[in-house]
Amino acid sequence: MPEEFKAGCQRPAVKKPPAEAPRNDATGIEPEKERKSSMIKVGKPAPDFTLPAFIDGKFANVSLSEYKGQWVSLCFYPGDFTFV
Amino acid sequence: MSAVAARNDDFKAIGVQVLSISVDSIYVHKIWNDNELSKMVGKSVPFPMLSDQDGSVGKLYGIYDEDAGVETRGRFLIDPDGIVQGFEVLTPPVGRNVNETLRQLKAFQLVRESKGTEATPAGWRPGRPTLKPSPDLVGNVWKEWKVEQAND
């Protein structure tokens, strides 16, 4: 279940995703750069995350993993108050 | 998002949890819900509105637009095992088609329930014939399925 929290005087701190992969010393490629260009693959696990959310008049932390066992439609959009 | 919120009962009816995400704060989500979305939909948004304020989750999913600092219109369908079954990504000016999302979800659910013994051909809709992949079907799809069925 989403874990409710109280409204503070600032935005909730960002919860960083799980530990970064170690830098590949052989190629010198930073993991962050690799990730920027990567796209999700179908048939592969969806990356888990925990984010603050507005739900039904309350604020709570929501993790994707809470919804294991059911189908999820995860919808990103450009911004609140946009027109489309 | 109002279009998805308005159809949430259709998602719930087939056991699908909707989650929306943008880089806006939870406070902006609340005001957008209270002042606009709830008036468009006739009730409060019935699913969690997530705030990815630094775009880190958008980057994980490959849909974060570094130049604009926003997330593009990416929609990911995730099965009960946490596996991504499909996604669609659009630039901001073009909206999604909720009917198509529901159609794809129903198709993925049918395939999953059949344990892969059935497949849904192009343009399939619930109630329409499926294909049963087997060695005998190779080269014989034309007997089972007509191209016109994709568009009728």
Q: pLDDT digit string (tens) for B53-63?
A: 999 999 999 99
Q: Do B73 and A60 touch (CB under 8 A)?
A: no
Output the CATH code of domain B2-96: 3.40.30.10
pLDDT of residue B34: 97
For the segment A21-60, what is each residue's pLDDT rounded down to a tens digit?
Answer: 565 566 655 555 554 557 899 999 999 999 999 999 999 9
Burial class of A74 by CB neighbour count within 10 A (0 to 12, 13 to 18, 19+): buried
What letter would DSSP give residue B86?
E
Q: Is A10 within 8 Å of chain B by CB? A: no
Residues found in chain B: 152
B79's CB contacts (< 8 A; 6+ apart) are A71, B85, B108, B112
Sequence ranges of the domains in chain A: 3-67
Which chain A residues touch B86 with a CB distance below 8 Å? 42
From A12, A43, A54, residue closest to B29, measured CB to CB? A54
ipTM confidence score: 0.93
